[in-house]
Chains A and B, each alone.
Chain A
Amino acid sequence: MKTIIQTFILLLVAVTFTLAQGFKVKASGEQTFNFEDKRNQLKFFSTTPLEDITGISNAVKGKVTLNVSDIKSMKGSISIPVSSIKTAIDLRDEHLQSENWLDAESYPEITFAIKSVSDIKVAADNKIEAMVTGDFTVKGVTKETIADVSITYLDASEQTKQFAPGDLLGVQAKFNILLSEFNVENMIVGQKVADNIEITATLRGSNAK
């Protein structure tokens, strides 16, 4: 009986190890990457027949922890202050922060908190493409959102030092939200501002402590 249980456990461990998809890089084990850097960017894009609007924030904050050999272990969150979004029109930025829009005073942050990782494709030893499900919070409303994400792991080198010490994680993510689902509803939504907003994240994180 003992031998059967041992064999079963060994098989379970072997199957888990085989199914785990991760990076084949020098680093191993759990790594935490800090994404707080002004060069990181979150972009909001609205397109209507009247005009296209791009809103950008360079005030990204957040940390992501993952086991290098198992991308499914990825946890963490990324956020930006609503007040940091610039649309290239000062008056529009003011409107964006007002109560009718994102209400920056009552809800100062927009956040994406990672819940799970699925549809993992290993594109290269250090590059993984996956769908990342997370809780996206805008104006106090949280909705489960799925982001199309590409993650690249770079071991520390002379090249990575240009950005920061330590290993680097590059994250390119894209997802769409409906403003109406986040209680952002007024007569301009659907006219000059689309209800469907495309959000793109271009992030670099370092695991240097």
Chain B
Amino acid sequence: MNSKQKSVILIGIILIAAVLAWWLISGGEILSKDGIWIEQEVSELDKALGLEPQKVYQEKFILVLVPHAAVFSGAILVISTVLFFIFRTKK
């Protein structure tokens, strides 16, 4: 690994860390879900009562990233990988 490649990796890590820090500050933890809502099928009685479908809670952990954080991190990773190969020492 040459110095340019080291710089690319370092800058990439710093940028991804910055994006993740921004994600945490903007509520990353709170966006990860502990459960999901599942829409119930309407029973015949509820149809007769003119009621709409209801939702029921189901426990399920889902890690949610702010969409921008995922896109930026992905873009940085792709650019870093491309630059890493461009800057490789040719024999």
Checking A43, A86, A204 against B51 with a beta-carbon cut-off of 8 angstroms, the contacting residue is A204
Q: What residues of chain A lie closer than 8 Å to B52, measured between beta carbons? A: 172, 200, 202
How many residue pairs link A and B with beta carbons under 8 A? The number is 65
- With beta carbons under 8 angstroms apart, the residue of A89, A150, A160, A169 that contacts B33 is A89
Q: Is the CB of A160 within 8 A of B51?
A: no
For B50, give its contact among A39, A43, A88, A127 (CB under 8 Å): A127
Instruction: Tell whether, in the assembled complex, residue B49 and residue A204 are in contact, meaning their CB atoms are under 8 Å apart.
Output: yes
By the criterion CB–CB under 8 Å, are A88 and B51 in contact?
no
Verify if A51 is at the interface (C-beta below 8 Å from B): yes
**Residues of B close to A151: CB separation below 8 A:** 50
For the complex, what is the distance from the CA of A162 to the CA of B43, rounded to whole Å? 10
Chain B: residues with CB nearer than 8 A to chain A?
Answer: 27, 29-37, 43-46, 48-52, 54-55, 57, 66
- Chain A residues at the B interface, C-beta cutoff of 8 Å: 39, 41, 43, 50-51, 54, 56, 86, 88-92, 95, 127, 150-152, 154, 159-160, 162-163, 168-170, 172, 192, 200, 202, 204
